[in-house]
Structure 1
Amino acid sequence: MEEYTYRAIDKYGKEKRGTVTASSVEAAYEKLRAMEMTPISVEKANIFNKEISIHIGKAVKPRDLSVFCRQIVSMIEAGVTIVDSLAMLEEQTENKVMAKAIGGAKAEIGKGETLANAMAKYPDVFPDIMVKMVSAGEASGKLDIAFKRMASHFEKSARLNAIIKKAAIYPIIVALVAVGVVIVMLTFIVPSYSDMFAQMDMDLPAITKAVVAASEFMIHKWYILLAIVIAAVVLIRYFKQTESGQVFFAKASRNGPIFGKLTIKSAASNFARTLSTLIYSGLPMVDALEITAGTMTNYLYRKKVEEAREEVIQGIPLSEPLLRDNLFPPMVGHMTKIGEETGQIEDMLNRLADYYDEEVEMTTQTVMAVLEPMIILVLAAIVCVLIAAVMAPMLSMYQNLDNI
């Protein structure tokens, strides 16, 4: 799923600009029309035309959506109307962004919109999968079941995200600590020894010269380093928005020596869980695959699901493209094939998702077990280099004194 900036005319005749998330330009146009807007122009968002939006409140997370769904189910089962349910949830929801969207949806229902159409007007809060499930629930008269299914889906998604973040947060914190240690030593510790080194009538070791030069650069020309870092961040972000950049980072994520297996198993779990949920709601396979592709964060897997959707449209079983190039683990294709042959594809996909959820958790533990000693060794090596640079001239001086 990619972001597109748009100019459009709303149903009141006012021009609006904004950003919409969709799988293609055509899908972006369709989404705008579904929001009762007449598109003027739609183009892929980039660093130059993307809107900078500032929200007062935290971003909506899967955990927030799961709680919302559980509360809706409780109120529906208690006989409370949807409008009254949304009114109560608007007041008690702590997340301001979500509370505003709930209030907006309630207002749209008051104008005669269905709940699904009302939620579709807030794509930054209510994802496509949720809107489609609610639409199917309204059509079948089983809205409470649809929300129950979505609550389970978002709970498992939140748990999986928490596991992956746990694996990523430790190396990030240690890396920041390492950078902080280097900056402090180069800025405060090394300069305190520089005058002493300058007074020594001896040739300094190469490692000391290098560290002293780095210290002087850090103190007197720090702005150059800052400019380089900012330029690098901007260029990387721009590169990631290009197709070649997305392919590069997707391959790096999938083929990486440590996080590669975690990426593959997370993609398999997300694919199976989302597709199973959508098929359960009664969505046709083609529509379910389109939404599932939009939930895949890795570019390679998103494109693979989109290609599989095109082949399904042509009458080819889903299992064939999944098995063709081994982008997904072979088990995904084989279990899908069994589900197609037995007519129980939803059950097979659900089993797959449960299996890969466990695999993600086990892989995360393995990654942490490998990363912890590696990071400690790297941090120790950096500190040892700086200490060696300071101590080497002093040890050399003491040896010269002993030889006198």
Structure 2
Amino acid sequence: MPTYRYQMKTSAGETSVGIMTAESALSAAQQLRNQGNIVLQLTPVSNSQTKSLGEKLKALNYQSGPTQRDILNFTTQLAVMIRAGISIRAALEGIADQTENAKFKQILLEIKQDVESGKQFSEALAKHPKLFGPLYINMVRASEMSGSFSQMLERIASYLQQQIETRAMVIGAMIYPAVIGALAIGVTIFLLTFVLPRFAGVFEGKEAAMPWPTVFLMSLSAFMVEWWWAVVIGLLGMVIGFVFFTKTEAGGWWWDGAKLRIPIFSRMFRALYISRSLHTMGELVNAGVPMLDTLAITGEISGNRHFKRLWKSVYTCVKQGKKIANPLQKTKLLPTAVVQMVGAGEESGKLGEVLDEVSSFYARQLREVIKTVTSMIEPIMIIIMGSVVGFIAMAIILPIFKLSTLVK
């Protein structure tokens, strides 16, 4: 529990100085006031010399930038406090006092100062666009105009929660094959660099009698042992080159397109982008954000350049006075059923409700697809690993049998 050094004036008018522990600075000040004292100064006491290694690592982590989870927690707390009747200035101050991330705490205090100076909350948030994003800022701005601030914060918190969970599911689905693939590569390297060289002396001088799998693997093993550093540099260069390539404009377009074509994974990515786009669009429409702003934000948040281009074309058509469904009918990125439902919602004036239902459907489909992908990857990777290990075992055993036959 943090320690604070305080200076206060007692009810008798005397000045007193001391040290106390409390969960937060706000809690410490409240304890002193409850005793009838006037707090003059309250500063945290550094315990860096007595901190354990775990506490130091924790403190180091607090110095990093805020995460999406931090934004979610802030939004949830702010919604609860506003609904309880606490002013936004006091709510921001209380949340900042309890925030352990130093950078995020500083940002919250800056927002509080902007609000105190007379700025709208959305204006204060707009000074930190990378942290809060256009969806967050525009939904808050819409709520300020409609007077539904606490309800809108709850909707934003629900949106952030779903996006975090979806991101975690997709990353989890990608990590599994990556781990299995790394294990397969590690086993293969071990066999080539440690096991096969042990048989090199046995097969030396008998190359003519060895089958081609053995010759191939023995040559590959000798190359790996001799030039392992070149192989490591080459693999690292390929990975770094691929990452830098995908950061370029041409590489980004190619990679975003590849994710929509890769077997097994394409269904997962397509469901992810459709769910994210329609969920974002639905939230903004229901929040009362202007349609052009909604389409622009949807394109930015979609997460794929091809979907971003799609929503940009919709933006252009709507700006010209056309309906949303018109450009959607010409794309292959969205299923025909989705386009028809969007068109029906637009005609009936219930576009927000339709988008919520469709995005919920694709969110469920995404979870099902992730389970399917994970269940399909496991046997595929087992087959690949078994084939590699089996090929290496066969390459070792075949010449032994052949040599024993020649000896007889």
Shorter-chain-normalised TM-score: which range? Answer: 0.7 to 0.9
Give the superposition deviation at 1:176: 0.9
Q: CA deviation at 1:60?
A: 5.0
Partner of 2:196: 190
Of 121, 124, 148, the residue aligned with 1:118 is 124
1:250 aligns with 2:256: yes
Q: Could you list the per-position Cα deviations for residues 138-170 of structure 1 after superposition, in whole angstroms to 9, with x for gaps in the alignment?
A: 233221111011011112222222322232221
Given that 2:89 and 2:115 are in contact with CA atoms closer than 8 Å, whether structure 1 keeps it comes out as yes
Map 1:3-402 → 2, pairs under 5 A = 61-94=67-100, 98-198=104-204, 200=206, 203-401=209-407
AA matched with 1:220: E
TM-score (norm 1): 0.80
Query: Does the 8 Å contact 1:258/1:367 carry over to 2?
Result: yes
Shift of 1:56: 6.8
- Partner residue in 1 for 2:12: none
Q: 1:371 to 1:390 in 2, by over 3 A?
A: same
Structure 2 Cα separation of the partners of residues 268 and 218 of structure 1: 45
**For residues 328 and 96 of structure 1, what CA distance do their matches in structure 2 show?**
43
Letter matched to residue 370 of structure 1: M
- The one-letter amino acid of 2:314's match is A
Instruction: Determine if contact 1:268/1:329 at 8 Å carries over to the other structure.
Output: no
Q: How far, CA to CA, are the matches of 1:166 and 1:94 in structure 2?
A: 27
- Taking the aligned partners of 2:204 and 2:117, their CA distance within structure 1 comes to 80
User: Which runs of 5 or more structure 2 residues have no equivalent in the other structure?
Assistant: 1-59
1:225-273 deviation line (CA, Å, top 9, x unaligned): 2232233233323322333322222221112221112222221111111
Would the aligned equivalents of 1:98 and 1:125 in 2 still touch at CA under 8 Å? no
Amino acid aligned to 1:302: K
CA distance, structure 2, for counterparts of residue 357 and residue 60 of structure 1: 26
Distance 1:141 1:270, change over 3 A: same
Show the counterpart of 2:34.
none
Aligned residues of 2:62 and 2:101 also touching (Cα < 8 A): no
Contact 2:169 2:370 in 1 (8 A): yes
> What are the Cα deviations for residues 349-392 of structure 1, in whole angstroms up to 9, with x where unaligned?
01111111111112222222222211110111111122222222
Residue-by-residue CA offset, 1:281-302 (whole Å, 9 max, x unaligned): 2111100110110001111111
SS of residue matched to 1:127: helix
Percent identity of paired positions between Structure 1 and Structure 2: 27
Higher relative contact order (CA 8 A, sep 6+): 1
Larger radius of gyration: 2
Going from structure 1 to structure 2, the CA distance change for 1:93 and 1:381 (only over 3 Å counts) comes to farther
The residue identity in structure 2 corresponding to 1:387 is: A
Q: TM-score, normalised by structure 2?
A: 0.79
Letter in 2 for 1:308: V
Matching residue's letter, 2:135: I
CA displacement at 1:316 relative to structure 2: 0.8
Q: For residues 63 and 297 of structure 2, what CA distance do their matches in structure 1 show?
A: 27
Which one-letter code corresponds to 2:387 in the other structure? A
What one-letter code is carried by the residue in structure 1 that aligns with 2:326? E
- Of 251-260 and 84-93, deviating more is 84-93
How far apart are 1:61 and its partner, in Å? 4.9
C-alpha contact 2:207 2:215 (8 A) present in aligned 1: no
Q: Counterpart of 1:256 in structure 2: which amino acid?
A: I
One-letter identity of the residue aligned with 1:177: L
Q: In structure 2, what residue type is equivalent to 1:238?
A: F
2:292 is matched by which residue type in structure 1? Answer: V
Q: CA deviation at 1:315?
A: 0.7
CA distance 1:150–1:192, shift in 2 (3 Å): same
In the aligned structure 2, how far is the partner of 1:78 from the partner of 1:304? 42
Q: Secondary structure at the match of 2:260?
A: helix
The CA deviation at 1:344 is 0.7
Partner Cα separation in structure 1 for residue 207 and residue 307 of structure 2: 63
Counterpart-to-counterpart distance in 2, 1:373 and 1:303: 37
Shift of residue 307 of structure 1? 1.0
Structure 1 residue 213, shift from structure 2 partner: 2.1
Cα 1:400/1:103, change in 2 over 3 Å:
farther
**Take 2:89 and 2:225, find their aligned partners in 1: how far apart are those partners?**
62
Cα 1:205–1:161, aligned 2, differ >3 Å: closer, same or farther?
Answer: same
Tell me the alpha carbon deviations over residues 44-83 of structure 1, each in whole angstroms, 9 at most, x when there is no partner.
Answer: xxxxxxxxxx997666554443332211111112222223
Relative distance call for 1:353 and 1:170 in structure 2 (3 A) is same
Distance 2:62 2:231 in 1: 33
For residue 400 of structure 1, what is the amino acid of its counterpart?
A: L
In structure 1, list runs of 5 or more residues that go unmatched: 1-53
3-state SS in 2 of match to 1:89: helix
Structure-2 residue corresponding to 1:19: none
Q: Post-superposition, which runs of at least 4 consecutive aligned residues in structure 1 deviate over 6 A? A: none
